Structure 1
Amino acid sequence: MKKFLSVILVLAISLCGVFALVGCSKNENKNFDMVFITDGGTISDGAYNQSAWDGVKEFAEEKNMSYRYYQPSVDENGDVNVDTIGNYIKLAVDNKAEYIVMQGEKMAVAVDKYAPQYGDINFLLVDAYPHAENSDTVDSFTNVMTVTFDTLQAGYLAGYTSVIKGYNRVGYLGSVSDKSSASYGAGFVQGVAKAADEGGTPVICEYANYDADNLNYDYSFTIRPVYKKVSESTEKTFKVNVIGGMGSGVYADGENVTITADKPEKDKIFDHWEVKSDTEGVKDKKVNISSDKKSTMNLLVGDCDCTIKAVYKDAKTVQIVVAKSADLSLSSLYDTYNVEKNSTTFVTAPSAQSGMVFDHWECDDKDAIEDVNSASTNVTVKDKTISIIPVYVKSDTPTFDVTVENGTGSGSYRSGDHISVVADPPKDGYMFYKWENVDNQGNSTGIAMTNEYCYITDFEMIDRYSSIAEIMYDNGTQVIFGGGNSQADSIFTATWKISHQVYGFGYGYDQNSMGNCLSSVVTDYRVAIVNALKEYKGGSYYEGNCSNNCLYVVDMSTQKTYKDKDGNEVEDKNYNESYAKVYKALADGTIKPNLPADDVRTVVNSKCMTLNYWIK
């Protein structure tokens, strides 16, 4: 799960005309002993930034130190530029900061780059390791202390709690390529086994690594048009013949059909549509089109069969060449548009190949493309041919392959991408009926088409990882945990689609706001930061675990009573004796969860838990 969960853009204050910052402090002095730099999110995000800021404040106020936070601006993808972070680090240094606290993976590269430049500053990096960009090698610096968390213990608490809350069908959805996920998952199944054996109750645990090569699941799916015989239609139908364009077929009376002209040949441009009634006794004017001048228009089917012809006229044209590279040989061309001089044309990049995603357009004429970062954009030509090159990069988020049979629209897409599909014209005697889609396991894909009964339609790509969670829930799993992996939100996506009551188990912070959240195992940044700063030592690690109270499960308490604000002893309604005993055993080392080398089944030996490992 990405730790950046909610990006709120704020009205920025200009600082020396260079960059903007927002923040607050204990006082209004210019100099600050301690600075917290957020990952671009706010300090009221209800998650990691807020928890980290609470820790900074608590420590600073206890030590009578001045403090402030900076919130860097983010781009449209919610990312923070490393050099921008560097500006804030420099600002903190210029303002005499003794400590700079940063949290999360977004800040790891910045710490790696800038900490060596400021050897007198004490950096505290929470829940990430310093590393160079595009490198997995962890670096260590004498002025950087790193806060980590025992994710085995966190997973153990989540698994144990899921069972003692009364559930006997639980699941884990994680990633084999992520060490944190593997650790959370291993802890989870061991916690489930402990609770099952203690209670003597049979428990089933489903375990699926969504990116494992041997996972028995395929995220790709197929979309296909369904045709039916015209003779089977119970409605009155009419035949539409489009010459020089798209939209031919047999349609029901009253249907609204999109008609699009073919791209013009060289030195030709679209001029108008000619319409003709093909039903004897019905005049041509009964062919009801929305426009005879637009190359894409709508036909309201009714009254007659008809022929619609795209008419082109002579004109001096230039080309928009969509090319794979600057080499304009035929083998390197994607597409060609013949257009009028001094005109604007809407152009769409070809679909990306599996695992890739459109990044930007390249063109010698920088003013020709309206939005170089959009796969579909307006391109303006003057008096000569231009070539535009779509650039694709490896996606940093999952992509899912879609195959369109008997139509167009196949490609590799990310969740949120907008996809258009067009069915091929039906054979004589047949008519388009509807679209159907199914994944390679025969299950529903979950996509929602704008109009599944129209031969040309569109849909938004969904998060396909949620389909595994959906299958688990459909097969009886009651609660699923996804600690430590970037697709954990997929679990909650799936809970919203299941009619019966199912739950996700959150991690990192209290995820109750996600909906259908049974509970959450929290890695407490506040406590960990206070503890680490008290013991600060550059070049070392501080691990948050049960022994130092840096882990806990929401609504589960280890203490029978607590003191209220008036000092009165009050019974804690969240106290659970079994949870308290396991927490203590984890804290003193009596229970030591194990991390398997590869297969989680090797660390579990349970009498009452059955582990279903999802493999081919």
Structure 2
Amino acid sequence: MKKIIAFFMVFVLAIGALTACGKKDDNNAGKNGDTGKTGDTYEIALITDKGNIDDKSFNQGAWEGVVEFATANNISHQYYKPEEASDAGYLAAIDLAVSGGAKVVVTPGFLFEVAVYEAQTKYPDVKFILLDGAPRTADYSDFKTEKNVASIMYAEEESGYLAGYAAVMDGMKNLGFMGGMAVPAVQAFGYGYLQGAEDAAKELGLGDGEIKVIYHYTGNFDENDTNKATAKTMYQEGVEVIFACGGSVGKSVMAAASEAGAKVIGVDVDQRYDSETVITSATKGLGASVIQVLESIYKTNDFDSKYGGKTTYFDAKNDGVGLPTTVLDDPNGNAFDRFEKFTMDQYNAVFQKLVDGTVDPIRTITVEDPNGVATAEELVSGLNLVKVQVEVR
């Protein structure tokens, strides 16, 4: 009898261990927002990257779009957190989602480029929404977007433009930029930031070189003491606000700003909730873009012609970029209350210029450095800067 009980216990433990491996992030259907209509299957799935679903960044922004659309249309949905943050780990999570009934898989960020490259042919009947990336091989030898994949990019130069414009119109003349690595998205944010500052300075009638910008790439996307020290030095030298454009680099900048009584501009999502130092954020319309692609799949049935098999840029014209205009959980909140002078009316006016094409910020310039780090001269000449004086560190 004891042998039978012992065998039974081992069997139960083994089953439990197998069930735990590669499971969905949790079994709380209500917490994850699914409708629960199809039991353990979920039609729309989101795979998180190495962050969490409440990261106030790509995962959260994309998931909010999934939840809003799926809830309104009574479609079951779930998110899955990979066992490990690697190409293999992301692909395994996609496998799990598809085996769980996913017909649409949302992958938030360029970290999924390799996994989606593999998954797009492995699951030709599943539609993939890849945000901020394009499917590619691990060695960058091949880029290919199959017809079941929507590659979504964002006009970061427009969002950065709005941030630089707002800072100068608010009265700031000493600006900072701390990007992570000089990848295209980060470059575009920075280039737009400088151009927005330039145009605002012209509108205000400021003198040539009156706006000063310290421009720096950290070489990483980390929260660490070195990045905090760099931001601290900038503030000590008189920088009033730093555009923190490098993932967790922003946390280092916020920590330094808090100690210095200075200001920060966030990135990707509204980061005002992370620190009182954040006056605004250069955001990407993650949720809005997810919703629009889902509508093409479920409502207008034009996914194939509109998004499938190609890269689509979301910009001011389709709510793909902008500064935050609302405050969460406060319908009467003022998203511009941390500015001294810059107002919602001023924002709406400059935003409309992006929409109608009156303002069209430069996204790329010629840079000799193979790592993409521009010199001050390249920035000034490539972006036609006169009012803005740049120091690259």
Q: Fold-level match, TM-score > 0.5?
A: yes
* Alpha-carbon distance in structure 1 between the residues aligned to 2:316 and 2:166: 15
1:153 Cα deviation after fit? 0.3
Q: Which moved more, 1:118-127 or 1:169-178?
A: 169-178
**Which residue does the alignment assign to 2:391?**
613
1:604 Cα deviation after fit? 4.1
Alignment of 1:128-143 (within 5 A): 128-135=133-140, 138-143=143-148
1:146 Cα deviation after fit? 1.2
Report the residue type matching 2:358 in the other structure.
T
Contact 2:82 2:92 (8 Å CA) reproduced: no
1:528 is aligned, of 285, 289, 311, to: 289
* Alpha-carbon distance in structure 1 between the residues aligned to 2:167 and 2:200: 9
* Alpha-carbon distance in structure 1 between the residues aligned to 2:289 and 2:335: 26
**Which residue does the alignment assign to 2:373?**
none
1:580 Cα deviation after fit? 1.0
Q: Which moved more, 1:506-515 or 1:23-32?
A: 23-32
- Structure 1 residue 475 and structure 2 residue 237: aligned? yes
1:485 Cα deviation after fit? 6.7
Which one has a larger percent helix, Structure 1 or Structure 2?
A: 2
**Which residue does the alignment assign to 1:420?**
none
Q: Deviation string for 1:382-435 (max 9, x for gaps)?
A: xxxxxxxxxxxxxxx59xxxxxxxxxxxxxxxx89xxxxxxxxxxxxxxxxxxx
1:116 aligned counterpart, secondary structure: helix
Contact 1:190 1:603 (8 Å CA) reproduced: no
2:365 is aligned, of 593, 596, 614, to: 596
* Alpha-carbon distance in structure 1 between the residues aligned to 2:335 and 2:131: 32
1:42 aligned counterpart, secondary structure: coil
Alpha carbons of structure 1 residues 52 and 581: separation in structure 2 relative to 1, 3 Å: same
- Structure 1 residue 551 and structure 2 residue 329: aligned? no
Report the residue type matching 2:316 in the other structure.
C
Report the residue type matching 2:290 in the other structure.
I
1:534 aligned counterpart, secondary structure: helix
2:98 is aligned, of 84, 93, 100, to: 93
Q: Deviation string for 1:463-496 (max 9, x for gaps)?
A: 3244443332222110011325774444334324
Alpha carbons of structure 1 residues 553 and 14: separation in structure 2 relative to 1, 3 Å: farther
* Alpha-carbon distance in structure 2 between the residues aligned to 1:111 and 1:100: 10
- Structure 1 residue 55 and structure 2 residue 58: aligned? no
1:176 Cα deviation after fit? 6.8
Give unmatched runs, 5+ long, in structure 1.
1-12, 75-79, 213-396, 399-414, 417-461, 558-563
**Which residue does the alignment assign to 1:71?**
81
Alpha carbons of structure 1 residues 556 and 191: separation in structure 2 relative to 1, 3 Å: farther
**Which residue does the alignment assign to 2:183?**
178
Alignment of 1:139-538 (within 5 A): 139-174=144-179, 177-202=182-207, 203-210=210-217, 463-483=225-245, 487-498=249-260, 501-512=261-272, 513-535=274-296, 536=303, 537-538=307-308
Give unmatched runs, 5+ long, in structure 2.
1-15, 297-302, 337-342, 368-377
Contact 1:197 1:606 (8 Å CA) reproduced: no
Contact 1:495 1:504 (8 Å CA) reproduced: yes
* Alpha-carbon distance in structure 1 between the residues aligned to 2:43 and 2:145: 23
1:539 is aligned, of 293, 304, 309, to: 309
Alpha carbons of structure 1 residues 109 and 177: separation in structure 2 relative to 1, 3 Å: same
1:600 Cα deviation after fit? 1.5
Question: How many pairs were matched up?
Answer: 340
2:351 is aligned, of 572, 583, 607, to: 583
Report the residue type matching 2:241 in the other structure.
V
1:521 aligned counterpart, secondary structure: strand
Alignment of 1:31-50 (within 5 A): 31-50=41-60
Contact 2:110 2:132 (8 Å CA) reproduced: yes
Contact 1:173 1:482 (8 Å CA) reproduced: yes
Report the residue type matching 2:310 in the other structure.
S
1:20 aligned counterpart, secondary structure: coil
Contact 1:128 1:147 (8 Å CA) reproduced: yes
- Structure 1 residue 113 and structure 2 residue 122: aligned? no
* Alpha-carbon distance in structure 1 between the residues aligned to 2:90 and 2:82: 7
1:606 Cα deviation after fit? 5.4
Structure with higher Rg: it is 1
Report the residue type matching 1:553 in the other structure.
L
Report the residue type matching 1:602 in the other structure.
S
Q: Deviation string for 1:86-139 (max 9, x for gaps)?
A: 333223222332111111133222112222111111111112222222437543
1:151 Cα deviation after fit? 0.7
1:64 aligned counterpart, secondary structure: coil
Alpha carbons of structure 1 residues 483 and 17: separation in structure 2 relative to 1, 3 Å: closer
Cα RMSD, aligned residues only: 3.0
Alpha carbons of structure 1 residues 556 and 472: separation in structure 2 relative to 1, 3 Å: farther
2:225 aligned counterpart, secondary structure: coil
Contact 1:176 1:209 (8 Å CA) reproduced: no
* Alpha-carbon distance in structure 2 between the residues aligned to 1:17 and 1:519: 41
2:35 is aligned, of 26, 44, 60, to: 26
1:508 Cα deviation after fit? 0.6
* Alpha-carbon distance in structure 1 between the residues aligned to 2:90 and 2:146: 18
Q: TM-score, normalization: structure 1?
A: 0.50
2:167 aligned counterpart, secondary structure: helix
1:534 Cα deviation after fit? 2.3
Q: TM-score, normalization: structure 2?
A: 0.76
Q: Deviation string for 1:514-550 (max 9, x for gaps)?
A: 4522221211211110012223332122322111112
1:21 Cα deviation after fit? 2.0
1:100 aligned counterpart, secondary structure: strand
Alpha carbons of structure 1 residues 68 and 486: separation in structure 2 relative to 1, 3 Å: closer
* Alpha-carbon distance in structure 1 between the residues aligned to 2:156 and 2:252: 20
* Alpha-carbon distance in structure 1 between the residues aligned to 2:264 and 2:18: 44
1:148 Cα deviation after fit? 0.9
* Alpha-carbon distance in structure 2 between the residues aligned to 1:49 and 1:42: 7
* Alpha-carbon distance in structure 1 between the residues aligned to 2:246 and 2:158: 12
Report the residue type matching 1:65 in the other structure.
I
1:32 aligned counterpart, secondary structure: coil
* Alpha-carbon distance in structure 1 between the residues aligned to 2:17 and 2:23: 5
Which one has a larger percent strand, Structure 1 or Structure 2?
A: 1
Contact 1:206 1:472 (8 Å CA) reproduced: no
1:81 is aligned, of 83, 86, 100, to: 86
* Alpha-carbon distance in structure 2 between the residues aligned to 1:476 and 1:571: 31
* Alpha-carbon distance in structure 2 between the residues aligned to 1:176 and 1:66: 38
